[in-house]
Amino acid sequence: MEDKTMLTFPAFFASTLSRFGTRDALAMVGKRPLTYLETNDRIMAVIAFLEKLGIQPGDKVAILSTNQPNWGIAYYAITFMGAVAVPLLPEFLPVEISALLEHSETRVVFASDGLLPKLVGLTTDFLLEVVRIEDFSVVRSFEYWPAFDPEAKPSMEYDVKEDDLAAIIYTSGTTGNPKGVMLTHRNICFTAIKGFEIQHMFETDRFLSILPLSHTYENTLGLVLPMYCGACVYYLGKPPTPALLLPALLEVKPTTILTVPLIIEKIFRSKILPEFTEKKILNMLYKFPPMRKLLHRVAGKKLMQTFGGQLRFFGVGGAKLNKTVERFLIESHFPYAVGYGLTECAPLLAGFNPQHPVLQSTGPSCIGVELKIINADKRTGEGEIWTKGPNNMKGYYKEPKLTAEMITPDGWLKTGDLGTFDDRGNLYIRGRVKSMIVRSNGENVYPEDIESVINNFRHVVESLVIEKKGKLIALVHFNQEEIELRYLFLKNEVSNYVDQKTEELRMELQDYVNARVNKFSQVQLVIAQPGPFQKTATQKIKRFMYT
């Protein structure tokens, strides 16, 4: 890679185009990929189309779409001409979309077919056109109906600078209202290079995209990074259900997948762990570490084949990985990696690759990124993580007060996460500052640690630990289908058998947890959560809705 390449999307793409123009760039699973040359032609045509729509540098253009090649093409076209992309999460409600389009002063929206109904009847003071992203046809126009010409070329040349605004990404976080994170070309391109430094990618790599491109994790590391390397990205076009994902894995045989902990944790608990624990002999053998490692190694080989057999980087980010599941990944020699960051940092701050796993750590900070612990506890070394580097956001859009609260005058960004370093520089995340519970005796309790223990209990899908009236309460979502299958033989003998077994599990779980945590972290009450918790795009529970 050329170190002198400008940190802008057009410069990155031009470099890749000159070296890998005939290589595959973007594809839908089951269809012929577009080469980088073909992708460039489409980008130029969309720029020409945006010019017809009156878009100029600095204007805001939103993308409300499922993952597909045209998502990336629209994103690059917007940013190549100096306009600002506003990616919107598909799960946003129509009222949220309306508010964000108004707040961002978006002039044009690219929307996919399944999400167009969310825009029906929507009007703002700035919106002029709604464009169907599948073929770039105008769905709704408030002025005129310009046609998209796939052969068109831009009428102007654009001089995009490193510090120009590239995107406004509205977070859907765990703590409340979305905020518009302003990321520059430098922010995102610098971060993509940091990802490359952690794990080198090549033009022969194949990415399978399963996380929403509107989230900065997938956007930077699953779209910009492969473009920087000349690799190809494949899209499913629909949510990654097992019925859709499994055949896609066998067809694409991806070398790289970016994911969140929930996905691999579900696979481990529903497919792998039962193989070892439901048969008495295997369950006994599984309790001995040498045998457990051997069984994990066998399971890891099968898991590799499930993922297509050629996987060399399985990135996990967005939330903390469960310790038991991570131990399996290490012992099975599965090529997993962990990264840490936040949207405000585009997003990567620290990480390790599959060759250097560190149990329950995020690895060391990225080269060129400074991390430090503020107000560290003298006993534990834990404190809030602050960061400084070229990937720090420009600020929150139209929120100077919030920006000043987040970024210090000398450029340190407050992550809001609690952590500590070991003597080798590896970072360990304890949880969110706002999530930490301070007991009446002054002891700090980290809900995430307790939840990790709870989630290892049988039939538990997910959990949330909160404090009410001085008591620690665990909200637990049990897998009702599993309980029904496990105790099916009781169905004709005991009425309401599922409810009864859930009640037994609830009481047993409290004893299980309290035997595995310190006395300050013991829960006083377990409440069965009737359904799944509300989550963010990276599958983190929205805590503010339950506290």
Average pLDDT over residues 292-318: 96
pLDDT at residue 454 is higher than 60: yes
Quick check: helix, strand or coil at residue 299?
A: helix
Average pLDDT over residues 438-449: 75
pLDDT at residue 492 is higher than 60: no
β-bridge partners, 84? 60
Sign of the C-alpha dihedral computed for residues 17, 351, 396 and 104 taken in this order: positive
Using only C-alpha atoms, what is the Rg of the chain? 24
- C-alpha angle 407/92/221, rounded to 5°? 55
Among 61, 66, 152, CA closest to 114: 66
pLDDT value of position 441: 63
Q: Are 332 and 303 a contacting pair, CB within 8 Å?
A: yes
Q: Give Cα separations from 489 to 111, 464, 503 (angstroms).
A: 50, 31, 18
Q: Are 215 and 186 a contacting pair, CB within 8 Å?
A: no
Share of the chain above pLDDT 70, in %: 94
Q: How confident is the model at residue 487 (pLDDT cuts 50, 70, 90)?
A: low
Q: How confident is the model at residue 171 (pLDDT cuts 50, 70, 90)?
A: confident
More confident residue, 208 or 279: 208
pLDDT value of position 129: 92
Structure tokens belonging to residue 395: 């600020």
Taking the mean position of all CA atoms in its chain, how far away is CA 168? 17
Quick check: helix, strand or coil at residue 496?
A: coil
Average pLDDT over residues 346-354: 98
Span 56-92, pLDDT tens digits: 999 999 999 999 999 999 999 999 999 999 999 998 9
pLDDT value of position 174: 45
Quick check: helix, strand or coil at residue 112?
A: coil
Give the phi and the psi of residue 457 in degrees, each rounded to 5. Answer: -75, 145
First-last CA distance in the chain: 48
pLDDT at residue 416 is higher than 90: yes
Q: Are 334 and 303 a contacting pair, CB within 8 Å?
A: yes
pLDDT value of position 501: 77
Q: Are 212 and 17 a contacting pair, CB within 8 Å?
A: no
Q: How confident is the model at residue 183 (pLDDT cuts 50, 70, 90)?
A: very high
More confident residue, 296 or 442: 296
Give the C-alpha separation, 105 to 60, whole Å: 6
DSSP 310: -
Give the C-alpha separation, 319 to 542, whole Å: 12
β-bridge partners, 475? 464, 527
pLDDT at residue 432 is higher than 90: no
Average pLDDT over residues 292-307: 97
Span 365-398, pLDDT tens digits: 999 999 999 999 888 899 999 999 999 999 999 9
Q: How confident is the model at residue 176 (pLDDT cuts 50, 70, 90)?
A: low
Span 106-128, pLDDT tens digits: 999 999 999 999 999 888 899 98
Q: How confident is the model at residue 486 (pLDDT cuts 50, 70, 90)?
A: low
More confident residue, 262 or 24: 24
DSSP 115: G
For the CA atoms of 171, 174, 175, 180, the dihedral, rounded to the nearest 10 degrees, stands at 0
pLDDT at residue 198 is higher than 90: yes
Share of the chain above pLDDT 90, in %: 69
- Domains of the chain are 9-232 (3.40.50.12780), 260-432 (3.40.50.12780), 438-545 (3.30.300.30)
Give the C-alpha separation, 69 to 40, whole Å: 12
Average pLDDT, the chain: 91
pLDDT value of position 16: 98
Span 493-517, pLDDT tens digits: 544 566 777 888 888 888 888 998 8
pLDDT at residue 292 is higher than 90: yes
pLDDT value of position 496: 59
pTM (two decimals): 0.88
β-bridge partners, 131? 110, 138
Q: Give Cα separations from 363 to 8, 58, 243, 276 (angstroms).
A: 27, 37, 34, 30
Give the C-alpha separation, 468 to 476, whole Å: 15
Q: Are 324 and 284 a contacting pair, CB within 8 Å?
A: no
Q: How confident is the model at residue 488 (pLDDT cuts 50, 70, 90)?
A: low
- Specify the length of the chain in residues: 547
Q: Give Cα separations from 408 to 159, 248, 368, 374, 392 (angstroms).
A: 31, 46, 19, 13, 12
DSSP 544: G
Structure tokens belonging to residue 54: 């009156």
DSSP 153: -
